[in-house]
Amino acid sequence: MKKFENDLILRVLRGSESERTPVWLMRQAGRYLPEYRAIRAKYDFLTMCKTPELASEVTIQPVDIIGVDAAIIFSDILVVPEAMGMKLLVEEGRGGPRLLDPLRTSSDIGRVHVAQADDDLSYVGQAIKLTVKRLNGRVPLIGFSGAPWTLMAYMVEGRGGDFARARALLYEEPGLAHRLLRMITDSVIGYLKMQCSAGVDIIQIFDTWAGVLSEEQYEEFSFVYIKEIVDNLKAYAPVIVFPKGMNRLLREISHCGADAVSVDWTVPIDVAGFEIPQVVQGNLDPAVLFASKDAILQHANRILSAAPRGRHIFNLGHGVMPGTPVENVKALIEFVRDFHH
Amino acid sequence: MKKFENDLILRVLRGSESERTPVWLMRQAGRYLPEYRAIRAKYDFLTMCKTPELASEVTIQPVDIIGVDAAIIFSDILVVPEAMGMKLLVEEGRGGPRLLDPLRTSSDIGRVHVAQADDDLSYVGQAIKLTVKRLNGRVPLIGFSGAPWTLMAYMVEGRGGDFARARALLYEEPGLAHRLLRMITDSVIGYLKMQCSAGVDIIQIFDTWAGVLSEEQYEEFSFVYIKEIVDNLKAYAPVIVFPKGMNRLLREISHCGADAVSVDWTVPIDVAGFEIPQVVQGNLDPAVLFASKDAILQHANRILSAAPRGRHIFNLGHGVMPGTPVENVKALIEFVRDFHH
């Protein structure tokens, strides 16, 4: 087992003793950081993802600059659809990423294939290896993937939004949806195993668009595939699942067997801790970080005080937003690190 | 009391006997109808809202064409912020409506005032009067407004999205938010009373962006104002409240005293019927209407069968989407009208 200078987050995920609540932030490597923007000014987003030197550099920035307890490899969930054969366009800040020629019919689905992680996504493995080396045991490294439903939603819709076409496909051709979800799930399992081999210490599965599904659809088209991924990955690394917008089903979701469930800001953390027997991650509203320092610390304090003791990883309820003042993020991290029950 | 050829929806709202489930659809007067598009080709959206002849014509179209049990006056929730002093731009299909110079500070809020419905929104009253005359007692007419939080979210953000700036204002300056919500609530109460005087038979309050709030914020910044509106309007017309995306709190929301609660497609209708003692409205996913006729009727049947008997108004879980095939909407309405328990 690897040794870390700071293994707080791993201890919490294993259910061991921890002297304080570990903290990291979704999109901690991102546009709110001037050091990130300096690199982004020279390279486009996908070039950064695909150049291990650059991906590794921005992955480590928040460890150095804001002092989080874990790094998360810099990438995007849509590299998987790209590796499956789709064309990905990322124009950051211009309405989000797009997948060209979205999949709508049976013959469209013939255009994609199960991603071969060792070939199609080897650049992620290289970025991970380089990052592990550069981190040199300071903090653990998190790898990640989109959940199958969230990836399918983008692959059918082509872009973000309310995913009405993707939802329509579930009603119109559930069999076709399952065929696509099968290929995505196999791709994700291979991708995450490759990330573990390359050296990540924790896995997070982002089901960002869980919330547009009905409860029945979530069970049939999302949960079962997430459970399969967790079953296949648990032996390699602790797994965190983030079912954004699906707070009515937290108890059911906890049955996927993940080591932690991450929750968005709309559910009280104590309610989440009651519904979820595992570790709970979250859930400060990223919008708070635009408010005054007093307001930020007050809301962080409320979460730290109400969260289940010893089984909480502090995080936001969604990613850090572009334009967030860096000093506010620093003040938040400092406060969480200094907090003791 | 007015007499209607078809008063099914009013009977259900009053708890009287009804021989079948009444049905209408959010955005039933809209772009999916060729007859609507023919008018829209000649006039912009706001001109249609502000010209009683045109508003009345498109309001009645779905009664004639698809056979719904109620009409809903053609308008937009953002006419209230406009009447309060903001500049509204509606470019249908181009990223949604926008409010220019959004309100961010205390001095910004000085730029808006409580709307004087009889002056600033008199065109809505005229459209209602003309529509009531033209409907000639065929079906009841629904009036509506955005809920205060949803209107505030647009007024602070300027446009749709995740309303991060509006959420940030709640954290940073809750007092300012309450001042704005106070003005909006007074505007909405005046506006809805005017609609009742002009002749609407039912009121619906759309809290389209309830779902971006935490439960505590919903209680403090949305629910209390909705309750105040319901308290003030109940004597004039039955009130339906639509707290989109707030399904964890349906039982609490039912305490606002509305005659019905409308629910989105993500919650099972039987669960909603269990949580809500009043009439339940909803909740077919509008995306279903892009699927096959078989799939549509199967999902409609499931809702009709599971909904609480005698206290259900059939509707979608959100508005009819542009591009929805008209024949699918007609088949749905026919199926609901023919359904008997």
Residue A27 is among the residues annotated as catalytic for this protein? yes
CB contact under 8 A, B172 and A268: no
CB contact under 8 A, A248 and B248: yes
pLDDT of residue B10: 98
CA distance B289 to chain A (A): 8
**Is the separation of the CB atoms in B10 and B4 below 8 Å?**
yes
* Whether pLDDT at A1 is above 70: no
* Token pair of B220 as six digits: 């403090």
A81 touching B (Cβ < 8 Å): no
Report whether CATH 3.20.20.210 matches the domain B8-338: yes
Question: What are the pLDDT digits (tens) for A70-101?
Answer: 999 999 999 999 999 999 998 766 668 899 99
Residue B248 is among the residues annotated as catalytic for this protein? no
A286, closest residue in chain B (CA to CA): B164
Residue B154 is among the residues annotated as catalytic for this protein? yes
**Is the separation of the CB atoms in B276 and B311 below 8 Å?**
no
How many Cα neighbours within 13 Å face the side chain of A172? 19
CA distance B283 to chain A (A): 10
Question: What are the pLDDT digits (tens) for A167-195?
Answer: 999 999 999 999 999 999 999 999 999 99
B165 touching A (Cβ < 8 Å): yes
B291, closest residue in chain A (CA to CA): A172
pLDDT of residue B341: 80
* Whether pLDDT at B232 is above 80: yes
pLDDT of residue A140: 98
Assign a CATH topology to domain A21-256.
Answer: TIM Barrel (3.20.20)
Among B226, B264, B268, which residue's Cα sits nearest to residue B244?
B264
- B248 closest CB neighbour out of A165, A247, A265: A247
- CA-to-CA distance for B78 and B124, rounded, in angstroms? 13
User: What's the average model confidence in pLDDT over B67-76?
Assistant: 98
Q: How confident is the model at residue A162 (pLDDT cuts 50, 70, 90)?
A: confident
Catalytic one of B154, B191, B218, B225: B154
* Whether pLDDT at B92 is above 70: no
- CA-to-CA distance for A339 and A284, rounded, in angstroms? 15
Bridge partner residues of B142 (DSSP):
B72, B202
Name the residue ranges covered by the structural domains of chain B: 8-338
Q: How confident is the model at residue B91 (pLDDT cuts 50, 70, 90)?
A: confident
**Is the separation of the CB atoms in A102 and A155 below 8 Å?**
yes
A296 contact residues in B (CB cutoff 8 A): 171
Mapped to the 3 state alphabet, what secondary structure does chain B carry?
CCCCCCCHHHHHHHCCCCCCCCECCCCCCCCCCHHHHHHHCCCCHHHHHHCHHHHHHHHHHHHHHCCCCCEECCCCCCHHHHHCCCCEECCCCCCCCEECCCCCCHHHHCCCCCCCHHHHCHHHHHHHHHHHHHHCCCCCEEEEEECHHHHHHHHHHCECCCCHHHHHHHHHCHHHHHHHHHHHHHHHHHHHHHHHHHCCCEEEEEECCHHHCCHHHHHHHHHHHHHHHHHHHCCCCCEEEEECCCHHHHHHHHCCCCCEEECCCCCCHHHHHHHCCCEEEEEECHHHHHCCHHHHHHHHHHHHHHCCCCCEEEEECCCCCCCCCHHHHHHHHHHHHHCCC
Question: What are the pLDDT digits (tens) for B3-25?
Answer: 999 999 999 999 998 999 999 99
User: What's the average model confidence in pLDDT over B111-140?
Assistant: 97
The residue among A285, A298, A328 with the most chain B CBs within 10 A of its CB, best to mutate, is A285
Among B312, B238, B310, B332, which residue's Cα sits nearest to residue B268?
B312
| Mean pLDDT rounded to a whole number for chain B | 96
B248, closest residue in chain A (CA to CA): A248
pLDDT of residue B147: 98
- Cβ-based contacts under 8 A for chains A and B: 85
Q: How confident is the model at residue B292 (pLDDT cuts 50, 70, 90)?
A: very high
User: What's the average model confidence in pLDDT over B77-88?
Assistant: 98
CA distance A43 to chain B (A): 27
CA distance A186 to chain B (A): 27
A271, closest residue in chain B (CA to CA): B215
The backbone torsions φ and ψ at residue A142, rounded to the nearest 5 degrees and listed phi first, read -95, 135
A321 contact residues in B (CB cutoff 8 A): 164
Question: What are the pLDDT digits (tens) for A277-292?
Answer: 999 999 999 999 999 9
